Structure 1
Amino acid sequence: MVEAPPILDISPFYASDEAAKAKLVEQVRNCCLHNGFFQIVGHRVPLELQEALLKNVKDFFALSPEDKKKVHKDNTTWNRGYESIGSQILEKGTNPDLKEGFYIGEEISKDHPYFVEKKLNSGPNQWPQSLQDPETFRKVSMEYYHALHGLARDVLVILAKTLDLADDFFSEFTDGAVATLRYLHYPPQPADSDEKLSRGIGAHTDFGSVTLLMQDDVDGLQVYEKTTNEWLDVVPTKGAYVVNLGDMFQRWSNDLYISNVHRVINKSGKERYSVPFFFSGNPDYTISCLPNVRKEGEPAKYEDMTVTECVGGAYKRSYGAATAHNAQRERADVSSTAQPIAV
């Protein structure tokens, strides 16, 4: 029987027991070779901060549609703010995703080089002012963002160890790294909805290097298991993070490590909330085939590409697909309701 991604205790990473550390590295390596998914506990993100962040998420999505639209991401060209339900299609042949979101990134000003040079999703955040305590919302969001930035760097050190690379191998990649914190809300889907068309998030792989996902207590996340052609439920675990590799890391590793397909279908009958943190890396860093990932004589499968080229193109495709779908549906609705002109 194939089991869902395992829960790994990464506390040995922060300790001095080399045997325990080596065991952890081997466990992570096996997960990366198999499907690129695992859960972690024993990290340094406080449970109190996680709970405060989840309160932020629920408070924001409880706002009225009018208040959420005041900070809609369409107010920007750098993907910060509120995302309406149906804004994205991540699986070809399905309806737009049944989720709404809110994007947060590093807080930078409009004179920052990343903004001036239009680097990947870089610019000022939009902060909702209609909340009961908007300043606490902002402070908790940014404290959590920076905590996850640190955890992502720790995970990348562990990944370096799995490839017999130096602990600081990814330091240039993580220096000046762009990352995205995304609040997500999945309204419950009808129990009889067609799973082939209606998804919280359609089956997809992530775009960047690593993703760290905090779930609430409502299930719905599923990971594809290629060996048995089935979908495995990733049961929410209090305090844990679901870790998965993205397309950029698979490309980087010459397909040695896996960026695996996953989806969300919320048939729980409850509101579901989750918080992924997408670590993209320094936007100017060039992704070139890693050492120690190719067999002797095996060529690199991919051309060199910057982080911006890897991640930015994927964002545009997923949102462009939903825009085209919704426009086509609107045209069809207009056509079906049009009345013939009397002559």
Structure 2
Amino acid sequence: MQLKTSSSAGLSWFAKTRQKIMRRQKLTTPDQRVEDPKVCLGLESIMSYKAALQKFHADLRDDNINNCSWQDHVWLAKCGILRGESVYMAELSDLLHATVQRTRDPHPVTVMILQMATGKTNKDLKLYGRVARHKNVNLCSIWCSWFLSHVPFPLYCDSRRGSPLNHTQRISDKSYAKAIKKVCKSLGITTRHFLHIGRVLGNKESEIMEDDDNLRRTLGNWDPKQNEKAYSNKLPMKIIRQKAGFREAEGLHYNPRVAVIPPTSLTEKVFPCLSDTFHAFTGLSEISPEDDKVTATRFLHFMKVLSEVVIQDAAVIFVEHPNRIHHPLFSSVEVFQSNEFKSYVELMRASLTHATSPYTMHLWKLYCLD
């Protein structure tokens, strides 16, 4: 299904529609058939709305246009997805696209562009949201915008289906946040930013991936001070990685000991009571962002990761410094004296012996091969 959207600047689609309704309502009675589906939004006649809708979609699905679920699709298809606050404000912004292909690129880049005429930070200026087709099809927002267009949307002209009295009134912040909160809870996403969840998660993901700060602010229409104050995750990964010793090849994180995963039977011996505590804690009730157990549960998750880190790093120490096996720090802990751990040490030794950095291999291919 292809949608034709206007590229004109200025007011949003809904604002234009309201103006058009005000001009035409004086000349239109509820019993008259209205050919413009936009005008039907402000009229009381359901029959006029259906007639206009049927004409609007005659080339798409004539045989099933009276099906309510199909009528619902018009609204979601019009307002689309990836529209930030414009979605729940019912501001139907223009949705366009651009195709870009550089000389050295084998394939063109398709960019979906959202023109936002209204919003919290616009201040009467038009802003733009931009997203390209993702390399991973599971993360492609453009594909998802089509997929989600098949979700039924409320039919505003029928009060029996829960239509609001004011067809142009937006959903309240509280109702929107409540709906997002329910989704986050069902997906197991722990957050307290329900109203601006896209703004928060999008910025944090970009920070973690170490995108250029200036480019990130430009793409997200960010004010630098507000971005740092309210939406930064305070995880400057580039310098964190550098301070951890990963400076080679632009901070390439090559840590071969991480690849040797210890068996669960071994990691459980680091904190013997952790498994029972974890299951007892998470089994009491469903974890939610308001639950006091969120922090405790996250700490238990950290303890599980720490168990794996302890086994891996101790094994590397034994490989590089065999005499430290008799150090009181290790000799007093039962897990490090077990046969299972000694077998794991040999597995780690073999892995480290044959490990080769991808950066080293690249240099070898570059300079050593004919």
TM-score (norm. length: structure 2): 0.22
Larger of the two Rg values belongs to structure = 2
